Structure 1
Amino acid sequence: MQGKKTSESRTIMTDIVLPPDTNYHGTIFGGNVMAYIDKVASITAMRHCRRQVVTASSDSLDFLSPIRTGEAICLEGYVSWTHHTSMEIYVKVEAENLLTGERRLTSQAYLTFVALDDDGKPTTVPPVLPETEEERWNYKTAAERFEIRNKRRKLTKQRFKKEK
């Protein structure tokens, strides 16, 4: 299967944060940020494999800086690594002051998506070809994240079996 450049799946989304999107601190609800991340990652994954996809996992999400009412939320996602049927998607979230143009990193996440065939079964995905220095770094460090996810999943399954 021929590889696809990272730029072929890159997804960028921007929205303005309005009062209904925020908590009593005037900052965006964390759940809204999580939904945006999942949406961008879904589009990114589908662009890469041109198949239906499902979210398999989401790594921890740290909120580094709040996004306030009136600022823009800016998300950028791309496929950072692929396995046989799965894709790791990196999503960066920034806040933009629309009056000054200043941007700051507010969070970032790695999600895993699985491609599905017409019968809803996992199917192979094309390899990813990183292009920039950041993409190459994410690609090089992905195997370690993959192993951590697998260990976490196995431990969770074992614990769940014991609790039954």
Structure 2
Amino acid sequence: MTLTPKKAHDSLINMTELVLPNDTNTFANLMGGRLMYWMDIAAALACMKHCAAPVVTASVDNISFENPIKLGNVVHIEAQVTRAFTTSMEVHMKVWGEDPVQQYRYKSNEAFMTFVALDPNGKARHVPPIIPESEDEVKLFEGALRRRQLRLILGGKMKPADAGELKALFYEQ
């Protein structure tokens, strides 16, 4: 099955949320779970934009919080598909907080998630390949296969000995 490739930047989603009291913990910081919820939505939107189909979350990579986002601040989430495999897509997200009163932006975190496209029967379906264009898109595209192999190993779906891209990083061939 051959699908027409699409440019990576065509999947870009920018999502903005305001941190309200119900979104915060006792320290008036945005709760991590609420941010992950918003990130999941932004990533799903980027994937649906890319493949024109419903998608489900397959995996979430490590999410490390660099800076808390405070009550009353704005959250900016940028999500873009970095690479498409047969039925799955890797999405890279960057998250910033913004203090609208002091008017400055700060990085909160970044992460990768993987989604699978579904057909009308709820079965995995093929997705179009990605065409990376910018230098950053090419770097993310090239690293996606290694990240995928690591995810598959950690999820018990691949043996480390079968991860050729990862082995190439550590052994001369």
Q: CA-to-partner distance for each residue in 1:2-55, whole Å, 9 max, x for gaps?
A: 111122211001111122211111100000000000000111111100011111
Unaligned stretches of 5+ residues in structure 2: 159-173
Most deviating of 30-39 and 147-156: 147-156
Residue correspondence of structure 1 range 16-55 to structure 2 within 5 A: 16-55=18-57
Aligned to 2:128: 126
Q: CA-to-partner distance for each residue in 1:98-135, whole Å, 9 max, x for gaps?
A: 12432111011101100111111111100111222222
Q: CA-to-partner distance for each residue in 1:69-105, whole Å, 9 max, x for gaps?
A: 1110000000011110000011111001112432111
Aligned to 2:92: 90
> C-alpha distance in 1, partners of 2:5/2:132?
10
Moved beyond 2 Å, runs of 4+: none
Residue correspondence of structure 1 range 3-152 to structure 2 within 5 A: 3-152=5-154
> C-alpha distance in 2, partners of 1:41/1:144?
20
> C-alpha distance in 1, partners of 2:36/2:97?
14
TM-score when normalising by structure 1: 0.91
Give SS of 1:48's match: helix
RMSD of equivalent CA atoms: 1.4
Unaligned stretches of 5+ residues in structure 1: 157-164
Q: Displacement of 1:155 after TM fit?
A: 6.9
Give SS of 1:154's match: coil
> C-alpha distance in 1, partners of 2:26/2:120?
45
> C-alpha distance in 1, partners of 2:36/2:46?
15
Give SS of 1:66's match: coil
> C-alpha distance in 2, partners of 1:133/1:71?
31
Which letter does structure 1 place at the counterpart of 2:63?
A: L
Relative distance call for 1:123 and 1:155 in structure 2 (3 A) is closer
Which letter does structure 2 place at the counterpart of 1:147?
A: Q
Q: How many residues align?
A: 156
Q: What percentage of residue pairs aligned between the two structures are identical? A: 37
